[in-house]
């Protein structure tokens, strides 16, 4: 069975004071059908793990280096992320791909390192507006899946997040049919490559301007197992309704 997952990506937001929001999320009644993941900036990882202790909330990093250690000033290794007590790490987010020029091969290498450190990877895929308008969405997604996910993927070490780049933080949301088409395609590709036993157990999240007002509709779509949420995860009052909607879906 696939586990539903509400994941919050705080991106480059948050200081110690922000942990009050995490504490509020952790204090809410645990959802019965969904898991909750918060990915704060690296500076807050250890404190976030402490704040979420004895709750249902898991903590993850937003990236890791492909090397396990070495002369890489300013970078954070997967082992370091795991050492904080975090359980997950986001890889291949469109902002990393665009801002830092990360390729599918880069993401694939990081995933191997993350798995070696015992982390669950949330690997992101998504198309730009020009690619969507050129009707290249599935070609782009297919290439990212093939290039970014290592061969040793399982339902225990991999989550896939589909985030149309043009919808992230813009307020624009694809139609439910468009979301369903991509999620069904991702499921089909996972089953074809890894077999039904693995392909059907990998959770697929949708990301891109998810909020309380549209969460219920999005979670009703085929093969949408949860959400990777940006801005709406920064405040407990905004994120909790999304968690509740997923738990009820």
Q: Compute the mean pLDDT over every residue in the chain, rounded to the nearest whole number.
A: 96
Q: What does the pLDDT read at residue 107?
A: 98
- 168, 208 contact by CB (below 8 A): yes
Q: What does the pLDDT read at residue 224?
A: 98
Residue 194 to residue 22: CA distance in whole angstroms: 35
pLDDT (tens digit per residue) in 73-90: 999 999 999 999 999 999
Percentage of the chain exceeding pLDDT 70: 100
What ranges in 52-128 are assigned the alpha helix state H? 78-83, 94-99, 104-116
Query: What are the catalytic residues?
Result: 93, 163
Q: What does the pLDDT read at residue 141?
A: 97
**Regions of the chain where pLDDT drops below 50:** none
DSSP assignment, residue 77? B
Count of domains for the chain: 1
* CATH code, 160: 3.20.20.70
Tokens for 52? 């979420």
Q: What does the pLDDT read at residue 195?
A: 96
- Domain containing 22: what range? 4-248
Q: What does the pLDDT read at residue 170?
A: 76
Whole-number CA gyration radius for the chain: 17
Q: What does the pLDDT read at residue 167?
A: 83
Angle between helices 236-248 and 212-219 (to 10 degrees): 20
Q: What does the pLDDT read at residue 100?
A: 96
Q: What does the pLDDT read at residue 171?
A: 76
């Amino acid at each position: 069975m696939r586990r539903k997952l509400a994941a919050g990506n705080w991106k480059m937001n948050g200081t110690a004071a922000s942990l009050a929001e995490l504490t509020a999320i952790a204090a809410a009644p645990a959802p019965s059908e969904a898991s909750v993941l918060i990915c704060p900036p690296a500076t807050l990882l250890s404190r976030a793990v402490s704040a979420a202790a004895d709750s249902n909330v898991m903590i993850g990093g937003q990236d890791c280096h492909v090397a396990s250690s070495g002369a890489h000033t300013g970078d954070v290794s997967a082992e370091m992320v795991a050492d904080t007590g975090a359980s997950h790490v986001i890889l291949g987010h469109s902002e990393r791909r665009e801002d830092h020029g990360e390729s599918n091969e880069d993401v694939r290498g990081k995933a191997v390192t993350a798995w070696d450190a015992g982390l669950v990877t949330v690997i992101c895929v998504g198309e730009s507006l020009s690619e969507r308008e050129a009707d290249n969405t599935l070609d782009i997604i297919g290439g990212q899946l093939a290039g970014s996910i290592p061969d040793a993927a399982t339902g225990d070490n991999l989550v896939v997040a589909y985030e149309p780049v043009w919808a992230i933080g813009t307020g624009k949301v694809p139609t439910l049919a468009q979301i369903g088409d991509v999620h069904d395609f991702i499921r089909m590709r996972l089953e074809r490559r890894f077999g039904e036993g693995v392909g059907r157990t990998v959770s697929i999240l949708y990301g891109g301007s998810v909020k309380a007002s549209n969460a219920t509709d999005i979670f009703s779509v085929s093969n949408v197992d949860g959400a990777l949420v940006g801005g709406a995860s920064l405040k407990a009052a905004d994120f909790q309704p999304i968690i509740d909607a997923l738990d009820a879906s």
